[in-house]
Structure 1
């Protein structure tokens, strides 16, 4: 999942970014509202973690600007404002959830998990494809009951494919949802990571559940 963190407290922002990257999420960040608006205008994110007290443009302005054209991207507000009226205002403006500071990183991860899974109408934290499973809470994959050791990028690719089983995913879509802004669109790194993931799955399962449909993209399907 591709997440944008908008937080002007740089120490807190760095802590959140490190925590989410450790969980194999693709994360970009910025420290002011205007930069957030600019980034949202050119990039696609599955979720925005948004502080309200921001320089240049406040969080509510960022939220309103996003919701003018985008009603799909999930928004989780982080704020020291704990009054009910502030929470109601944020939710009424289009936020999907509201978390009051201070908070535990474990709770933030749980809120993110709930929002991103909800986007794909999943109701279980464990995604499955026959003998393959991915625990979205533990961020671990297993095949036939045995854990599979994956890199952060391989984890992100696997999760996205399992969330979209049966639908081909193009390289461009992987860039949007699994890579952060540092990726080179013309790099072959995506193919390299997918090839490595497929090799590990083939070893663990005895077959490859990922198929490359020429001209369409990569798709995960149950074995016939």
Structure 2
């Protein structure tokens, strides 16, 4: 994995994901943003193989980003990391590869990042 985007509005959680991901594997570029609009801006300029996505953002909902990615046909693996368990089905329906519960699944999220294929999604069949 070369590029990882973390979309998380809670600074401490975002920082912990950042640190754990950096320790888990060599990633050339990790970007951390706390807003939907900045995430969209970054995704239009840079190819991110993986996006870690919170759903409750100050300027919108992460599901909006999932729909935007699908509409723009931007291929990236999206791992939702949220306390909004009720939205899990909607996230998966809109293109998320996995959903992790903030209350229980931090270690599972980091393990998934560590084990994620280096190939871009378009090369996976």
Q: TM-score range by the shorter chain?
A: 0.7 to 0.9
SS in 2 for 1:68: helix
Among candidates 58, 72, 77, match of residue 69 of structure 1: 72
How far did residue 117 of structure 1 move? Answer: 5.3
Matches within 5 A, 1:72-221: 72-83=75-86, 86-116=87-117, 119=121
CA distance in 2, matches of 1:116, 1:90: 21
* 8 Å contact from structure 2 (residues 80, 100) kept in 1: yes
Among candidates 39, 42, 51, match of residue 42 of structure 2: 39
For residues 142-184 of structure 1, the C-alpha deviation after alignment (integer angstroms, 9 at most, x for no partner) is xxxxxxxxxxxxxxxxxxxxxxxxxxxxxxxxxxxxxxxxxxx
Structure with greater helix percent: 2
Which residue in 1 is equivalent to 2:54? Answer: 51
Instruction: Mark the runs of 5 or more structure 2 residues left unpaired by the alignment.
Output: none
Q: Which has the larger radius of gyration?
A: 1
How far did residue 48 of structure 1 move? Answer: 0.3
* 8 Å contact from structure 1 (residues 74, 116) kept in 2: no
For residues 167-220 of structure 1, the C-alpha deviation after alignment (integer angstroms, 9 at most, x for no partner) is xxxxxxxxxxxxxxxxxxxxxxxxxxxxxxxxxxxxxxxxxxxxxxxxxxxxxx
SS in 2 for 1:102: coil
Which residue in 1 is equivalent to 2:33? Answer: 30
CA distance in 2, matches of 1:68, 1:42: 16
Change (3 A) 1:104 1:79: closer
RMSD of aligned Cα (Å):
1.9
SS in 2 for 1:37: helix
For residues 76-129 of structure 1, the C-alpha deviation after alignment (integer angstroms, 9 at most, x for no partner) is 01110123xx111111111111101123543112222444357465xxxxxxxx
Which residue in 1 is equivalent to 2:20? Answer: 19
* 8 Å contact from structure 1 (residues 48, 73) kept in 2: yes
TM-score, normalising length from structure 1?
0.49
Instruction: Mark the runs of 5 or more structure 1 residues left unpaired by the alignment.
Output: 122-224
Greater shift after overlay, 95-104 or 29-38?
95-104
* 8 Å contact from structure 1 (residues 46, 116) kept in 2: no
CA distance in 2, matches of 1:104, 1:89: 19
